[in-house]
Amino acid sequence: MNNKAFTKENLWRVAAVLFWLLVWQAAAALLRQPLLLSSPVRVLRRLFALLGQASTYGALGYSLSRIALGFLTGFALGALLAVLAARWRPVEYLIRPLMLTVKSVPVASFIILALVFLTSRKLNSFISFLMVLPIVYGNLLEGLKSKSRQLDEMARMYHVSRLRRLICIELPQLKPALLSAVSLALGMSWKSGIAAEVIGIPMGSVGERLYQAKVYLDTSELYAWTLAILLISMLIEKGLMALMKGAYARLERL
């Protein structure tokens, strides 16, 4: 794509966002019920007000750290199980019902079930772990299964060391599966983690702030927190994807 076409596409994207913001603003102006529908201007003002409060960063830090813990453990276990299942077929058969159950059961059911044996402070980590696990497992297993046997044979014939095989042959082949797993799992873990907080209401979390806004019918704050959650989700996804692509570029230069 050349620069001109790229700029034109970006302009269309910005124009589309502006159009829907205008629709939102017009609907709020027509309804004149900020309790039901807060205008984008009010929401933005509230968001900036939130950004000036130290407690906002405390809540974000609390939620982010716990959800990140769930994401990382889910990612690690999902990757490990995918490697085992790709190597030994019985493992795949054994794990399949478990993964299907986790994927099919509504997240709200898991949250309520988990509250029986977990404190609300541990809930968001556990739920994001649970949501990440089948995504990473499924994507990586597919990636591992579609690995080229021909390249494996080539590496065997040329006595390529295990480490070099991993870095130069296996990881590049897994790149699409890994990137897709990270992109999908990040969004799911963040959203499900916040949903768990809204139900479990742990003190000082983003979920608690959302719940409080709902209880006090503070629609502007509810929207502002939702917008903050969205923006953070986008930032984390973009940041991590850029980091992974950079890591891959470095790996390929080794």
Partner 1 sequence: MIEMKHIAKAFDGKAVLTDFSLTLTDGITCLMAPSGRGKTTLLRILLGLETPDAGEITGKPDRVAVLFQEDRLMESLTVGMNLRLALGRAYDAVKAEACLAALGMPGSLRLTVSTLSGGMKRRAALARALLYPAPLLVLDEPFQGLDEDTRRLAIAAVRQSAQGRAALVVTHDAQDVALLGGKLVTLQEG
Residues forming the site for partner 1 (CB under 8 A)? 150-151, 153-154, 156-161, 164, 168-169, 172, 252
Nearest to 202, CA basis, from 54, 72, 63: 63
Nearer to partner 1 by Cβ, of 142 and 152: the residue is 152
* Other CB atoms within 10 A of residue 33 CB: 10
CA distances (Å), 184 to each of 45, 167, 188, in order? Answer: 31, 24, 6
- CA 90 to chain centroid, in Å, comes to 30
Nearer to partner 1 by Cβ, of 116 and 157: the residue is 157
Q: Alpha helices, DSSP H only, in the chain?
A: 3-31, 40-51, 54-87, 89-104, 107-117, 120-145, 149-157, 162-164, 171-200, 206-215, 219-253
Nearer to partner 1 by Cβ, of 61 and 172: the residue is 172
C-beta of 167: minimal distance to partner 1 in Å?
A: 9
Nearer to partner 1 by Cβ, of 144 and 206: the residue is 144
C-beta of 178: minimal distance to partner 1 in Å?
A: 14
C-beta of 247: minimal distance to partner 1 in Å?
A: 14
C-beta of 171: minimal distance to partner 1 in Å?
A: 10
Nearer to partner 1 by Cβ, of 115 and 160: the residue is 160
Using CA atoms, how far apart are residues 104 and 85, in angstroms rounded to an integer?
20
C-beta of 162: minimal distance to partner 1 in Å?
A: 12
CA distances (Å), 105 to each of 109, 130, 144, in order? Answer: 7, 11, 26
